[in-house]
Amino acid sequence: MLSPTLIKVTNVLPESILKKLSKFGIRKILKKYAKITVEGFEKIEKIEGPKIFICNHLSNSDGLILNEILKKKYDPIFVAGEKLSKDPVTRLATMTVKTVNIKPNSADKEAITRIVKLVRGGENLMIFPEGTRSRVGAMIEGKKGVLLIARLTKATIIPIAMTGTEVLLPINKDGNMGGEKFQHADINIKFGDPVVMPVKDKEEDKHAFDDRALEHMMKSIANMLPEKYRGVYK
């Protein structure tokens, strides 16, 4: 947790310096606390065109780790809840990755329009379809916004399953993200095959089809996870 004095210092430092310091600090922290194992990364190397990476969400460290893994080859833009940029601590973390802020639990048309434009322009996207970190250590229901983005961009969907980050940077029960502390943890990350989305049946109701399509997408993540992490997608 940052002291009040240190928070004041970060508020006056030029953004370019703050960004460099944040990147250095995060890499040092991850090297110290996280033992990372990656499987299946080679599956995506031959896939051309923009990609939408989707992953389960357990911790505020998820994006930091995935950015370290994906940045060199794919440099994705992360879809992030706008509150992350308002907390003095998590703001430092968001400065180290490319982000598009989105208003949670709302149809943020402006943000979605921007996201679609970026992906159509060739950018890769990283999104956590659950929309928030799971407080139960297992998958919770996904949000349908990811379906809209996938349909409008026609980008290749790559599922990622992650475990261990709930130990690396546990969620504070009191909701204070700035007070969360890193701990030593084994992190396992699996990249899956591209998701082939289902086709709507002729007589199928649109809402029923959306539910089926979202479940299909979320299970592409869940099926790579140990059972205790699958939550509502067992």
Cα–Cα dist 76/131, whole Å: 17
Local confidence band at 3 (pLDDT 50, 70, 90 cut-offs) = very low
Cα–Cα dist 101/9, whole Å: 24
Q: Which amino acid, 127?
A: I
Is residue 164 scored above 80 in pLDDT? yes
Query: pTM for the whole thing?
Result: 0.91
| pLDDT tens, residue by residue, 36-85 | 999 999 989 889 999 999 999 999 999 999 999 999 999 999 998 766 65
Burial 71-89 (b: 16+ CB within 10 A, else e): eeebebbbbbbeebeeebb
Is residue 2 scored above 80 in pLDDT? no
Tokens 């139960």 map to which residue? 136
Is residue 194 scored above 60 in pLDDT? yes
Is residue 8 scored above 60 in pLDDT? no
Burial of 165 (0-12, 13-18, 19+ CB in 10 A): buried
Burial of 56 (0-12, 13-18, 19+ CB in 10 A): buried
Cα–Cα dist 119/30, whole Å: 29
Local confidence band at 10 (pLDDT 50, 70, 90 cut-offs) = low
Is residue 102 scored above 90 in pLDDT? no
Quick one: average pLDDT of 193-215? Answer: 96
Cα–Cα dist 215/5, whole Å: 47
CATH class belonging to 4-233:
alpha beta
Q: Which amino acid, 47?
A: I
Quick one: pLDDT at residue 1?
47
What are the residue ranges spanned by the domains of the chain?
4-233
Tokens 């699996």 map to which residue? 190
Burial 180-206 (b: 16+ CB within 10 A, else e): bebeebebbbbbbeebeeeeeeeeeee
| pLDDT tens, residue by residue, 121-142 | 999 999 999 999 999 999 999 9
Q: Say which residues have a Cβ less than 8 Å from residue 39's Cβ, sequence separation at least 6.
A: 188, 189, 190, 191
